[in-house]
Every structure is written in structure tokens, then in C-alpha cells.
């Protein structure tokens, strides 16, 4: 396909919102940032120039970066950050991929404001496998803080505690009328009666999983994480940070003004209406003075997020996932207030008591000083080790046994450990969420791949009773591992490089909820990672 060129100037911009004015970091002064458009198999070239005092990288979330790991973007994983005054040209092809993606900063908490949509259309002459929509709209769910986000991140991490509650949830940067000084700060979509619209939903939020719904209208999910799904109809969807969903909605209700509403998962149990925070309008053309009418509000029931997002989710076509696996990993997701105690002698309890800490298989991920990919490629020692464990330190009591049992799995030590995979190996990972306290899933995101979500459940994973779907499981890049539950994923490690797998709740990543896979080269150029680009930023 052709090449699409984009110029990204990282710059601050003054924004007035919620009765407050401040500078935020943006791309080209836009918030949300510019939309990157392409078609399947196109090359995308983005020249990123950093005109801020902060370190920057950009990640193309969901793009599998076939043989182009150098352009994946996570800071200190595949590249050193682009420093103030420097630039870097991202150059990659969306090989056999199409759908709704997004890009975001992947350094510190900058993605709180530095994000945008990336839309990849099918090749010319290829239609969507569903009714052609009359129009398409991008709907990005986000979060907004009145205070400076860089300062908030610093203070939160220094305190060892949880981040402050966000000041507003947003839809395309607009909070909607429910907040102070926000009556007119509302995103609106005009619709014609009887027409069908495609909404490209993206959750770009830092720290919240969100429900999305439209008053009185049904949503038909047709794509998840930039892969088609069997269409299914629902009143409400849930998106973890890092997830994208395409839904069709037909303007089939009496002419009027309807609310599109966002509510955070954590608040889902609170009374109807109080939990609806961000609002945008889905407003019918032809309604007399429609803009003066009060918008109809939807009802958000106490939906369990797991069911809401995963029930009914199937690949559009039969896929037949491989049956034998070469690598069988069991990875616990630990999150707790660190408590070193005498019964964990083998683990080096390094963190201070009372500090929040997160881990995978008892290893709390620490970002190295040099990018792991560069260290791996140039064989530089000291930046990481290759001993990420295949299972947790103690393979029992995964789910928090409190108050009688200490959850051993949440004892952790710091490390920058990689799991090395042979080229082409067939990998299964059981992700076990050990948390039962916070009402939240962990949206686990894998770079460089999509994976089949072959199984999913609550409680502890049990190989004897787990049901796997190897016929038409959804093919995703981010999976919300349910609270006190598990998810099973499979992928073929055929894309060489260093690939981050981490929780897409930013605070959890900061606390160490991540790891990396190193996928070795195969034989020949078509199975090997090329040399780094000459302008690769230096640390």
C-alpha cells in the first residue's frame, strides 16, 4: 500500500476546563491528538519532534509491528525516550491489520493527555463484514485532572499510595454537562432518523475501566481490538484502558436528544444516575429545537464487567487455535500493600512496608536505564536478566486468602526479568488475578501480538475444569482479567523482538505490574529483526 506521512510536534497547550486553566502536553496542540488514517498494509511514517521539557515516546497500540519492534514505543523497553529538542521517525507497516487502534505516549503518565485515534480501513474494494454505516464517529474515553498530571504522577509515586480520583471523565476531551463550568463542554453527534452509525470506541483513560452506553439505543459490537467479532447486541459495553470496540447503533428511536454516557467500573454499584459521569449527546436532526431539550439519560445497571465485555465475544470467523503448546506459563497478577514477613524467606522483600506494589509471578517490574531491545540486540549486559519465572513462587493460595492466610503471591522482589521464547513457539499463558479487594479487572496488554482469549472465568484457574474455546475465540491485544479470576491466552511467538506485557492501568504499571518477552529470531531475513534505525534515541 501507499505511505502515510504525519508530523507530530509534541508541545504544550493552554486548556480551560472545569473552571481552571493549565498547560497540558499535546501533539500539534490538539487534545485529543490528531487522527492517523491508513489502509490495511500501508506504511505509516510519523516524524515526532519533542518541543517540551519532558521525555516522550509514542506507542501504536494494537499495531503488531511485524519485524519493526524498534518502532513499538514503550520507553526503556524498545527505545530510549525522545528527549527535549530531539526527534525520532516512527516507520512501520500495518501488516494484515485493519480497524480501530490508538496511539499514546508510553513514558511516565504522559498518555493522560497525549493520545489519539488511529483508523485503518480495509483495502480498496473490500467492505466491512456488516451493514455499511451511514457515518463513522470516533469516541475516545479519557480522564482529566485539574492539577498538573506530571506533578500528580510524581506525588503519587513518591507517596507509595493510590492516585487521586480523577476530576472528570471525558468523551473526546469533553466532560459533558455534569461538572463545574462544563455546561457547554460537551461532545455531540448529529444523527438522522433511521440511519446506522459506526462508533469507534477507545478507552484512553489512565486508571479506570469504563462502561459506555447510549440512552434507549442498542449497541451491536462488531469489532474488538481491531479484529472483527460475530455481531452481538447489548445495552452497555465495558472497556478497560487500552481496549477498542466498534459498535453499530441505529437511530431508531423517537426523534430527540439522547445521552451517550460513561461510568467508571468501580462506581457501577452506586445508584443509577449518580454513577454516570461523562456525557455526550446523540442528537437527532429534525427535532424542533432539539438542542434545548434535556438529554435522555440511560440506565446503567449493576453489570458485571466480565460478562459485559466478554460474553458473546467471538471471532467473526472460525480460527482453530493450535492444540499443542510449547510454552505453558502461569502468571499471577499480584497487587497489595507490601508487607514483608518472616514466612517468605526465599523472597527478597525489598520494598518498604506499607507501600503499594504490583507484580507478575512475584517480580515487580523495574524499568532499566537502557532500552531492553537495544541491550538485547547489542548484547550489552546489566540491563535485564533472562529468568522471568514460568510460574509464581508458591503455586497455591493464588487468590487472596485473607484474613486467615497471607497471600504469598503478592510478596515480591524487584527485577527486570525477561521470558525468552524461541521463534515460532506456541505459547499459552494463564493469567491469574489474585486480587479480590479492589473491584477491578486488570486489563493486561501484550505488545507485538494479538492473542486468542481461549478461556475466562472467576475464582482460581483449574486445568481440570477450565473450558477452552479453540474454535472461534476473540483475537485481542488487551484482556481484562477479572477480579479474583483468570484468563487463558494463546499466541505463536513469530515476531522477533522485545515485547512488553503489562497492566494498562497506569498506576499498576508504575507499581511494577509488567514483564517482557524476548522472542528470538528465526532463520532468514523474513524471520529476523532488522538493525536499529540510525536516529534511534539515546538514553
Point out which residues bind ligand C2O (CB under 6 A).
Answer: 59, 61, 74, 104, 106, 242, 445, 447, 500, 502, 504
Residue 271 backbone phi and psi in degrees, to 5: -55, 145
Task: Calculate the dihedral angle through the C-alpha atoms of 141, 239, 428, 384, rounding to the nearest 10 degrees.
Answer: 30
Taking the complex as a whole, how short is the minimal distance between the CB of residue 335 and ligand C2O, in angstroms? 18
> Looking at beta carbons only, is 46 or 249 nearer to ligand C2O?
46
> Looking at beta carbons only, is 102 or 282 nearer to ligand C2O?
102
> Looking at beta carbons only, is 208 or 303 nearer to ligand C2O?
208
| Helix segments in 449-526, DSSP class H | 506-510
Taking the complex as a whole, how short is the minimal distance between the CB of residue 106 and ligand C2O, in angstroms? 6
Of 116, 456, 470, 451, nearest to 323 by C-alpha is 470
Q: The C-alpha cell of 117 is what?
A: 485515534
With a CB cutoff of 8 Å and minimum separation 6, the contacts of 402 are none
Residue with cell 501507499: 2
| Contact indicator for 266, 440 with CB cutoff of 8 Å | yes
The per-residue b/e assignment along 395-428, b for 16 or more CB within 10 angstroms, e otherwise, is eeebbbeeeeebbbbbbbbebbbbbbbebebbbb
Taking the complex as a whole, how short is the minimal distance between the CB of residue 522 and ligand C2O, in angstroms? 24
> Looking at beta carbons only, is 33 or 298 nearer to ligand C2O?
33
> Looking at beta carbons only, is 59 or 174 nearer to ligand C2O?
59
> Looking at beta carbons only, is 69 or 260 nearer to ligand C2O?
69
Taking the complex as a whole, how short is the minimal distance between the CB of residue 105 and ligand C2O, in angstroms? 10
Taking the complex as a whole, how short is the minimal distance between the CB of residue 438 and ligand C2O, in angstroms? 21
Taking the complex as a whole, how short is the minimal distance between the CB of residue 477 and ligand C2O, in angstroms? 8
Burial class of residue 140 in the structure, from the number of CB atoms within 10 Å of its CB (0-12 exposed, 13-18 middle, 19+ buried): buried
| Contact indicator for 297, 281 with CB cutoff of 8 Å | no
> How far apart are the C-alpha atoms of 82 and 90, rounded to whole Å?
11
Taking the complex as a whole, how short is the minimal distance between the CB of residue 62 and ligand C2O, in angstroms? 8
> Looking at beta carbons only, is 104 or 217 nearer to ligand C2O?
104
Distance of CA 254 to the CA centre of its chain: 36
Nearest to ligand C2O by Cβ — which residue?
61
Tallying the residues shown for the chain, one arrives at 539
> Looking at beta carbons only, is 176 or 240 nearer to ligand C2O?
240
> Looking at beta carbons only, is 374 or 506 nearer to ligand C2O?
506
> How far apart are the C-alpha atoms of 394 and 330, rounded to whole Å?
11
Taking the complex as a whole, how short is the minimal distance between the CB of residue 402 and ligand C2O, in angstroms? 31
* Count of CB atoms situated within 10 Å of the CB of 196: 17
Taking the complex as a whole, how short is the minimal distance between the CB of residue 204 and ligand C2O, in angstroms? 9
Taking the complex as a whole, how short is the minimal distance between the CB of residue 504 and ligand C2O, in angstroms? 6
Taking the complex as a whole, how short is the minimal distance between the CB of residue 73 and ligand C2O, in angstroms? 8
Q: The C-alpha cell of 428 is what?
A: 499459552
> How far apart are the C-alpha atoms of 278 and 236, rounded to whole Å?
15
Give, in order, the Cα–Cα distances in Å from 332 to each of 247, 318, 407. Answer: 32, 30, 11
> Looking at beta carbons only, is 242 or 473 nearer to ligand C2O?
242
> Looking at beta carbons only, is 48 or 191 nearer to ligand C2O?
48
Q: Is 330 helix (H, G, I), strand (E, B) or coil?
A: strand
Q: What does the DSSP assignment read for 34-52?
A: PPEEEETT-EEEEEEEE-S
Taking the complex as a whole, how short is the minimal distance between the CB of residue 39 and ligand C2O, in angstroms? 22
Q: Is 283 helix (H, G, I), strand (E, B) or coil?
A: strand
With a CB cutoff of 8 Å and minimum separation 6, the contacts of 304 are none
> How far apart are the C-alpha atoms of 32 and 115, rounded to whole Å?
6
Taking the complex as a whole, how short is the minimal distance between the CB of residue 302 and ligand C2O, in angstroms? 28
* Count of CB atoms situated within 10 Å of the CB of 242: 28
> Looking at beta carbons only, is 79 or 259 nearer to ligand C2O?
79
Of 163, 177, 176, nearest to 206 by C-alpha is 163
> Looking at beta carbons only, is 59 or 419 nearer to ligand C2O?
59
Of 308, 119, 319, 145, nearest to 232 by C-alpha is 308
Of 214, 201, 239, nearest to 100 by C-alpha is 201
Amino acid at each position: 500500500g501507499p505511505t502515510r506521512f504525519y508530523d507530530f510536534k509534541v508541545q504544550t497547550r493552554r486548556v480551560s476546563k472545569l473552571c481552571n486553566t493549565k498547560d497540558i502536553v499535546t501533539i500539534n496542540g490538539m487534545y485529543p491528538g490528531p487522527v492517523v488514517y491508513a489502509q490495511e498494509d500501508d506504511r505509516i511514517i510519523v516524524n515526532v519532534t519533542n518541543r517540551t521539557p519532558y521525555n516522550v515516546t509514542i506507542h501504536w497500540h494494537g499495531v503488531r509491528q511485524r519485524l519493526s519492534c524498534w518502532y513499538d514505543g514503550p520507553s526503556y523497553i524498545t527505545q530510549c525516550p525522545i528527549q527535549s529538542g530531539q526527534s525520532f521517525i516512527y516507520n512501520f507497516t500495518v501488516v494484515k491489520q485493519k480497524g480501530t487502534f490508538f496511539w499514546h505516549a508510553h513514558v511516565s503518565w504522559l498518555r493522560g493527555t497525549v493520545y489519539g485515534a488511529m483508523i485503518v480501513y480495509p483495502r480498496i474494494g473490500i467492505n466491512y463484514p456488516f451493514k455499511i454505516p451511514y457515518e463513522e464517529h470516533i469516541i475516545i474515553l479519557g480522564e482529566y485532572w485539574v492539577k498538573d498530571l506530571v506533578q500528580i504522577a510524581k506525588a503519587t509515586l513518591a507517596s507509595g499510595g493510590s492516585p487521586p480520583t480523577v476530576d472528570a471523565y471525558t468523551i473526546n476531551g469533553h466532560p459533558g454537562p455534569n461538572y463545574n463550568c462544563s455546561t457547554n463542554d460537551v461532545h455531540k453527534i448529529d444523527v438522522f432518523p433511521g440511519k446506522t452509525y459506526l462508533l469507534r470506541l477507545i478507552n484512553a483513560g489512565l486508571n479506570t475501566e469504563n462502561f459506555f452506553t447510549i440512552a434507549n439505543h442498542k449497541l451491536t459490537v462488531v469489532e474488538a481490538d481491531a479484529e472483527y467479532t460475530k455481531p452481538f447486541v447489548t445495552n452497555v459495553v465495558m472497556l478497560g484502558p487500552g481496549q477498542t470496540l466498534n459498535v453499530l447503533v441505529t437511530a431508531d428511536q423517537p426523534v430527540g436528544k439522547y445521552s451517550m454516557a460513561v461510568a467508571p467500573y468501580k462506581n457501577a454499584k452506586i445508584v443509577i444516575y449518580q454513577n454516570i459521569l461523562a456525557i455526550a449527546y446523540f442528537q437527532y436532526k429534525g427535532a424542533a429545537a432539539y438542542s434545548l431539550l434535556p438529554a435522555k439519560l440511560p440506565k446503567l445497571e449493576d453489570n458485571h464487567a466480565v460478562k459485559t465485555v466478554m460474553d458473546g465475544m467471538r471471532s467473526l470467523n472460525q480460527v482453530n487455535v493450535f492444540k499443542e503448546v510449547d510454552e505453558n506459563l502461569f502468571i499471577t497478577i499480584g497487587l497489595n500493600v507490601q508487607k514483608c514477613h518472616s514466612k517468605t524467606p526465599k523472597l527478597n522483600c525489598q520494598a518498604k512496608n506499607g507501600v503499594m506494589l504490583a507484580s507478575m509471578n512475584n517480580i515487580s517490574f523495574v524499568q532499566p536505564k537502557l532500552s531492553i531491545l537495544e541491550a538485547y540486540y547489542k548484547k550489552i549486559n546489566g540491563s535485564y536478566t533472562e529468568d522471568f519465572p514460568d510460574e509464581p513462587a508458591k503455586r497455591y493460595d493464588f487468590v487472596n486468602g485473607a484474613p486467615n492466610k497471607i497471600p504469598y503471591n503478592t510478596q515480591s522482589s524487584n527485577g527486570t526479568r525477561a521470558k525468552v521464547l524461541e521463534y515460532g513457539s506456541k505459547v499459552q499463558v494463564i493469567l491469574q488475578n489474585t486480587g479480590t479487594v479492589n473491584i477491578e479487572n486488570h486489563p493486561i496488554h501484550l505488545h507485538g501480538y494479538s492473542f486468542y482469549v481461549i478461556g475466562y472465568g472467576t475464582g482460581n484457574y483449574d486445568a481440570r475444569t477450565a473450558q477452552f474455546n479453540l474454535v472461534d475465540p476473540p483475537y485481542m491485544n488487551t484482556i481484562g482479567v477479572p477480579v479474583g479470576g483468570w484468563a487463558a491466552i494463546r499466541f505463536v511467538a513469530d515476531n522477533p523482538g522485545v515485547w512488553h506485557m503489562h497492566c494498562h492501568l497506569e498506576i499498576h504499571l508504575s507499581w511494577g505490574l509488567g514483564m517482557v518477552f524476548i522472542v528470538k529470531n528465526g532463520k532468514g531475513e523474513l524471520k529476523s529483526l532488522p538493525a536499529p534505525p540510525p536516529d534511534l534515541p539515546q538514553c
